[in-house]
């Protein structure tokens, strides 16, 4: 039946041993040191191999500039839009793909000029003494550095290493990719500067810059990169609005070459200014284009009417024909001019209405002024519509916000609806005016019909010619006015502080960050490893583990042995290890006294499993008793796995087994050792029934006889966790020592020991912690937290022998101190 004591393992708490973890971590200090050395070495190598990163900036202002020629009397009206609306659009435009494509294409920044650095290729833009020009219709070698070696001031060598029999090409006319066949291996060819190079994979002319300096013998590289990839890189330009000035924009860019950054920043602003001014002039440009196309047609009409007038008057007496009707003809001409003006306005309104209903791009709308329309509602709204449409088209590649596009569309729809209503009312008024003019013209025509036919024909031709000339002059005046307004326009974008290399500007690499990262990783990587070991390792680590797992007293802590044999106490009696066994001897005498044990005393030493050092402890505990001149004997009762004879250089041919089966007497199996007062009974031949032999009466008789001859009887038994032999020997023992070993004995074995102890299967048991080492705390010592031995430092000098010689530095220090002491003694 199960007893409640069988469940004692529930009593142990799985709490985190922080102190033990710290000690364990500190014991692996060499790992941390190596990890830090490796991490800092990598960080240093990364830092020295990284190119320097520079950051430069330029500042611009966005301010609406009024045209000095635009007055209230000017018939052309332009609406530039508010500054607040422009700033966000300009910021988005500067980051847009379409804008950066224009800049990259203008600067040919998809071409890299490089030179060899100590660790990598360095951007040599601005330093290279040459530049290349090429026809975009032909493909260029893609992505492979082309080495340029100047053999002289006018001759250079092209070197390319082809790793395969084909090479990729980039055609910058349409940004397409293709390939061409090449000869695998090295390609070399010499060319003169300015000479056209025409190869299947290379088409260019190389020119030397003005004031190139000394470049003969120098080596450079040229590389053609992806156009789209280059543009994508420059789209990362940083655009920020000044917090104190809403119309101020700061543009900043980072890169490895300051000359390239300066050139790009200034060029991107210049391209922006040109495009913004072109958009600003769109209204005037539309007007001029319309007038130009109309004037071409008017010139043909004037020429035809002039020819008609010449043909009519040829061979006729012009004075007689012009005799009358001049006044009426002048009135009729005024009516016709008025009618043409009204007709042009009506035609413009019809065209405008059709355009608004059928088109979505309103940036090409013709200005109302070309038709003589001065209605401010029409003029202003058409101007707004053109401006909004232009802004929306510019934002196509810059802004991804659907809401912003919807806002533009809603504004344009509202203006469009207003214009359509204005057109209806304006056309009604114009139609009434047209009817009045037509009635007046009919009256004048009736008066002219009273004149002779020749005179009527002449007046008719004359009026047509004068009408065309008048209309032509009117358009010419409006075109001149539009040219003046357009010429007087200035960009709303101005440089406040152009980009310039004035020194400095270094922003990276951030070497400090890399070293901090190395410090962190150099610590955290071994820490995680130790952390894993700490949790995976379920073995006893220190005395705290023992005290947490069991209430059985711990009476001794034994350090690591540093001798070849198990006779550590005998071979090095003044070592700290020997003192730890003497401390155990003192504790045992206290236990014997507490139990009122008189006469011979029996001590059983066992452990959980093999390898925990019970034989080592048995030999050395017996040695310290013998060295105190107490007759001591060790009995090897691990009948399955005999060990104890090897260290004493004695035979295991006969032993306890021979006595238990009746083959030998007690005196025949006792073997003396080279240690005074210490004898040994080995286990003897391995029997087929060791458990039965231990349970036999012979075992009781042997122990009774030995008590008559010896002061201390040490029983070296099998592991209690593997076989039951030790449990059978427990009744014969006054004290039981249970040996556990640091980093070897599993914590579960302590639970098993607790169970046996609580069920009274073993009694008078105490624990020894063997092979304990705490370098993290005591360097080369054993760190006995119970005060066994004398420790280290000045108090232990002369009492203990060092278990280790120490490293070369410790030995050197001891040699120097010893030499000084020797000289001092001689001086005394």
Q: Is residue 670 part of a domain?
A: yes
Q: Give the Cα separation of 97 and 397 in Å (integer).
A: 6
Q: Give the Cα separation of 499 and 269 in Å (integer).
A: 10
Q: Is the pLDDT of residue 325 over 90?
A: no
Q: pLDDT by residue (tens digit) across 256-304?
A: 999 999 999 999 999 998 888 877 777 677 777 777 777 777 777 777 7
Q: How far apart are the first and last CA of the chain?
A: 80
Mean pLDDT of 128-151: 93
Q: pLDDT by residue (tens digit) across 397-416?
A: 555 566 667 777 788 888 88
- Tokens representing residue 415 in the block: 């203006």
Q: Is residue 64 part of a domain?
A: no
| Cα 663–Cα 669–Cα 670 angle in degrees, nearest 5 | 160
Asked which of 221, 247, 280 is the last residue of a domain, the reply is: 280
Q: pLDDT by residue (tens digit) across 556-608?
A: 999 888 888 888 889 888 888 889 999 999 999 888 888 888 889 999 999 88
Q: What residues does 607 pair with on adjacent strands?
A: 739
DSSP 133-144: E--TTS-EEBS-
DSSP 417-436: HHHHHHHHHHHHHHHHHHHH
pLDDT of residue 455: 57
pLDDT of residue 344: 78
* Helix axis angle, 402-448 to 326-358, nearest 10°: 160
Q: Show Cβ contacts of residue 392 under 8 Å, excluding neighbours closer than 6 positions.
A: 405, 408, 409, 412
Q: pLDDT by residue (tens digit) across 160-200?
A: 999 999 999 999 988 899 999 999 999 999 999 999 999 99
pLDDT of residue 448: 60
pLDDT of residue 297: 73
Cα R_g (the chain), whole angstroms? 54
- Tokens representing residue 149 in the block: 């070696």
Q: Give the Cα separation of 614 and 517 in Å (integer).
A: 48
* Helix axis angle, 511-536 to 29-49, nearest 10°: 150
Are 485 and 70 in contact by the 8 Å Cβ rule? The answer is yes
Integer angstrom CA distances of residue 426 from 126, 131, 340, 373, 378: 62, 62, 16, 10, 9
Same structural domain, 528 and 610: no
pLDDT of residue 782: 35
Structural domain of 474: 287-488
Q: Is residue 468 part of a domain?
A: yes
pLDDT of residue 314: 64
Closest CA to 396 of 83, 173, 89, 106: 89
- The phi and psi torsions of 739 (rounded to 5 degrees) equal -90, 125
Same structural domain, 431 and 467: yes
Task: Report percent pLDDT > 70 for the chain.
Answer: 79
Closest CA to 558 of 740, 684, 735, 707: 740
Same structural domain, 613 and 514: no
Q: pLDDT by residue (tens digit) across 428-477?
A: 888 887 888 777 777 766 666 655 565 556 666 766 776 677 777 777 77
- Tokens representing residue 54 in the block: 């520079």
DSSP 230-291: HHHHHTT-EEEE-SS-TTEEEEEEEES-HHHHHHHHHHHHHHHHHHHHHHHTHHHHHHHHHH
Q: Is residue 2 part of a domain?
A: no
Mean pLDDT of 231-249: 85
- The pTM of the full predicted model, rounded to 2 decimals, is 0.55
Same structural domain, 294 and 313: yes
Same structural domain, 750 and 791: yes
Same structural domain, 378 and 417: yes
Domain count, the chain: 4
Q: Where are the beta strands (DSSP E) in 35-171?
A: 53-62, 111-116, 121-123, 130-133, 140-141, 146-150, 155-162, 166-171
Q: Give the Cα separation of 56 and 262 in Å (integer).
A: 7
pLDDT of residue 554: 92
- Tokens representing residue 632 in the block: 């001591």
Q: Is the pLDDT of residue 222 over 50?
A: yes
Position of tokens 């005998």? 570
Same structural domain, 654 and 638: yes
Q: pLDDT by residue (tens digit) across 673-713?
A: 999 999 999 988 888 888 888 888 888 899 999 999 999 99
Same structural domain, 338 and 202: no
Q: Is the pLDDT of residue 780 over 80?
A: no
Q: What residues does 204 pair with on adjacent strands?
A: 197
Other CB atoms within 10 A of residue 507 CB: 13
- The phi and psi torsions of 78 (rounded to 5 degrees) equal -120, 135
Closest CA to 328 of 429, 202, 209, 462: 462
Q: Is the pLDDT of residue 113 over 60?
A: yes
- Tokens representing residue 220 in the block: 């450079």
Same structural domain, 556 and 634: yes
| Residue 11: pLDDT band with limits 50, 70, 90 | very low
Are 753 and 620 in contact by the 8 Å Cβ rule? The answer is no
Q: Show Cβ contacts of residue 72 under 8 Å, excluding neighbours closer than 6 positions.
A: none
DSSP 469-491: HHHHHHHHHHHHHHHHHHHH---
Closest CA to 497 of 90, 91, 57: 57
Q: Is the pLDDT of residue 65 over 70?
A: no
**DSSP-derived pairing of the beta strands 493-497 and 196-199:** unpaired
90-104, 254-268, 813-827: lowest mean pLDDT where? 813-827
CA 712 to chain centre: 71
Mean pLDDT of 745-769: 86
Mean pLDDT of 802-822: 49
CATH number at residue 742: 3.40.50.300
Q: Give the Cα separation of 214 and 719 in Å (integer).
A: 88
DSSP 456-468: HHHHHHHHHHHHH
Asked which of 280, 314, 337 is the last residue of a domain, the reply is: 280
pLDDT of residue 595: 85
CA 372 to chain centre: 63
Asked which of 259, 280, 301 is the last residue of a domain, the reply is: 280
Q: Give the Cα separation of 772 and 576 in Å (integer).
A: 12
- Tokens representing residue 435 in the block: 């009817």
pLDDT of residue 531: 81
Q: Is residue 818 part of a domain?
A: no
**DSSP-derived pairing of the beta strands 155-162 and 185-192:** antiparallel
Q: Considering only residues 788 and 19, tell me which one the structure prediction assigns the higher pLDDT.
A: 19
Same structural domain, 457 and 560: no
Q: Give the Cα separation of 199 and 225 in Å (integer).
A: 18
Same structural domain, 276 and 301: no
Q: Is residue 124 part of a domain?
A: yes
Q: Is residue 824 part of a domain?
A: no
Integer angstrom CA distances of residue 1 from 4, 6, 60, 193, 757: 10, 10, 92, 104, 18
- Tokens representing residue 309 in the block: 């007038």
DSSP 148-207: EEESSSSEEEEEEEESSSEEEEEETTTTEEEEEE--SEEEEEEEETTPEEEETTEEEEEE
CA 627 to chain centre: 69
Q: Considering only residues 248 and 85, tell me which one the structure prediction assigns the higher pLDDT.
A: 248
Q: Give the Cα separation of 735 and 695 in Å (integer).
A: 19
Q: Is residue 65 part of a domain?
A: no
Q: Considering only residues 324 and 241, tell me which one the structure prediction assigns the higher pLDDT.
A: 241
pLDDT of residue 369: 66
Q: Considering only residues 643 and 228, tell me which one the structure prediction assigns the higher pLDDT.
A: 228
pLDDT of residue 414: 85
Q: Is the pLDDT of residue 536 over 60?
A: yes
Same structural domain, 233 and 197: yes
pLDDT of residue 797: 41
Task: Report percent pLDDT > 90 for the chain.
Answer: 31
- The phi and psi torsions of 566 (rounded to 5 degrees) equal -85, 0
Q: Give the Cα separation of 304 and 506 in Å (integer).
A: 73
Write the secondary structure of 645-714 as one string of H (helix), E (strand) and C (coil).
CCCCCCCCCCCHHHHHCCCCCHHHHCEECCCCCEEEECCCCCCCCHHHHHHCHHHHHHHHHHHHHCCEEE
Average model confidence (pLDDT) across the chain: 79
Q: Give the Cα separation of 414 and 711 in Å (integer).
A: 117
| Residue 393: pLDDT band with limits 50, 70, 90 | confident
251-260, 664-673, 817-826: lowest mean pLDDT where? 817-826
Q: Considering only residues 4 and 65, tell me which one the structure prediction assigns the higher pLDDT.
A: 65
Q: Give the Cα separation of 83 and 658 in Å (integer).
A: 113
Q: Considering only residues 73 and 359, tell me which one the structure prediction assigns the higher pLDDT.
A: 359
């Amino acid at each position: 039946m199960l007893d409640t004591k069988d469940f004692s393992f529930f009593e142990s708490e799985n709490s985190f041993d922080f102190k033990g973890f710290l000690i364990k971590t500190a014991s692996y200090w060499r790992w941390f040191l190596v990890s830090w050395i490796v991490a800092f070495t990598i960080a240093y190598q990364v830092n020295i191999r990284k190119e320097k990163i520079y950051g430069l900036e330029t500042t611009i202002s966005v301010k609406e500039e009024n045209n000095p020629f635009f007055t209230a009397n000017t018939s052309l009206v332009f609406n530039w839009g508010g500054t607040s609306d422009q700033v966000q659009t300009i910021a988005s435009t500067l980051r847009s793909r379409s804008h950066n494509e224009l800049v990259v294409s203008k600067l040919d920044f998809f071409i890299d000029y490089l030179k060899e650095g100590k660790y990598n290729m360095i951007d040599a833009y601005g330093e290279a003494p040459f530049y290349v020009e090429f026809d975009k219709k032909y493909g260029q070698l893609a992505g492979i550095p082309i080495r340029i070696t100047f053999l002289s001031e006018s001759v250079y060598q092209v070197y390319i290493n082809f790793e395969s029999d084909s090479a990729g090409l980039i055609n910058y006319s349409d940004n397409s990719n293709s390939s061409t066949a090449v000869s695998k291996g090295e390609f070399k060819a010499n060319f003169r500067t300015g000479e056209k190079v025409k190869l299947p994979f290379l088409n260019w002319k190389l020119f030397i810059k003005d004031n190139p300096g000394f470049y003969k013998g120098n080596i450079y590289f040229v590389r053609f990169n992806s156009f789209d990839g280059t543009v994508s890189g420059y789209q990362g330009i940083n655009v920020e609005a000044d917090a104190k000035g809403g119309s101020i924009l700061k543009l900043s860019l980072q890169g490895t070459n300051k000359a390239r950054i300066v050139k790009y920043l200034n060029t991107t602003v210049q391209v922006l200014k040109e495009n913004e001014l072109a958009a600003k002039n769109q209204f005037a440009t539309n007007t001029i284009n319309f007038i130009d196309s109309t004037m071409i047609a008017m010139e043909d009409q004037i020429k035809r009417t002039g020819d008609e007038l010449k043909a009519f008057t040829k061979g006729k007496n012009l004075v007689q024909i012009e005799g009358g009707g001049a006044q009426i003809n002048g009135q009729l001409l005024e009516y016709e001019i008025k009618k043409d003006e009204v007709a042009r306005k009506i035609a413009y309104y019809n065209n405008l209405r059709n355009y608004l209903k059928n088109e979505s791009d309103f940036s090409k709308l013709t200005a109302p002024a070309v038709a003589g329309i001065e209605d401010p509602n029409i003029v202003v709204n058409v101007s707004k519509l053109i401006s909004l449409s232009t802004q929306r088209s510019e934002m196509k590649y810059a802004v991804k916000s659907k809401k912003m596009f919807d806002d533009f569309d809603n504004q344009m729809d509202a203006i469009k609806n207003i214009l359509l209503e204005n057109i209806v009312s304006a056309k009604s008024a114009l139609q009434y005016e047209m009817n009045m003019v037509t009635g007046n013209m009919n009256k004048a025509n009736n008066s002219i019909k009273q004149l002779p036919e020749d005179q009527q024909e002449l007046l008719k031709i004359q009026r047509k010619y004068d009408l065309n000339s008048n209309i032509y002059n009117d358009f010419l005046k409006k075109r001149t006015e539009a040219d003046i307004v357009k010429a007087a326009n200035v960009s709303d974008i101005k440089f406040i502080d152009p980009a310039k290399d004035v020194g400095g500007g270094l922003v990276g690499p951030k070497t400090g960050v890399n070293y901090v990262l190395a410090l962190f990783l150099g610590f955290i990587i071994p820490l995680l490893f130790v952390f894993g070991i700490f949790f995976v390792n379920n073995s006893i680590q220190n005395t705290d583990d023992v005290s947490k797992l069991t209430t059985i007293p711990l009476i001794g802590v034994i350090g690591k042995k540093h001798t070849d044999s198990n006779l550590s106490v005998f071979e090095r009696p003044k070592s700290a290890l020997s003192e730890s066994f003497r401390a155990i001897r003192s504790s045992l005498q206290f236990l014997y006294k507490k139990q009122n044990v008189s006469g011979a005393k029996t001590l059983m030493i066992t452990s959980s499993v093999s390898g925990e050092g019970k034989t080592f402890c048995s030999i050395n505990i017996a040695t310290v008793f013998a060295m105190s001149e107490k007759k001591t004997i060790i009995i090897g009762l691990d009948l399955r796995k005999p060990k104890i004879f090897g260290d004493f250089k004695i035979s295991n041919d006969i032993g306890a087994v021979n006595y238990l089966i009746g083959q030998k007497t007690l005196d025949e199996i006792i073997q003396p050792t080279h240690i005074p007062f210490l004898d040994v009974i080995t286990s003897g031949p391995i029997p087929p029934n060791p458990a039965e032999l231990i349970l036999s009466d012979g075992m009781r008789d042997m122990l009774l006889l030995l008590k008559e001859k010896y002061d201390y009887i040490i029983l070296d038994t099998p592991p209690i966790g593997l076989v039951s032999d030790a449990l059978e020997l427990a009744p014969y023992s006054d004290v039981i020592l249970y040996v556990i070993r640091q980093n070897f004995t599993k914590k579960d074995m302590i639970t098993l020991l607790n169970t046996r102890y609580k069920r009274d299967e073993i009694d008078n048991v105490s624990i020894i912690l063997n092979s304990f080492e705490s370098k993290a705390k005591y360097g080369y010592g054993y760190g006995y937290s119970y005060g066994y031995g004398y420790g280290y430092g000045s108090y232990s000098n002369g009492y203990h022998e060092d278990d280790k010689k120490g490293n070369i530095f410790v030995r050197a220090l001891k040699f120097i101190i010893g030499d000084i002491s020797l000289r001092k003694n001689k001086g005394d």
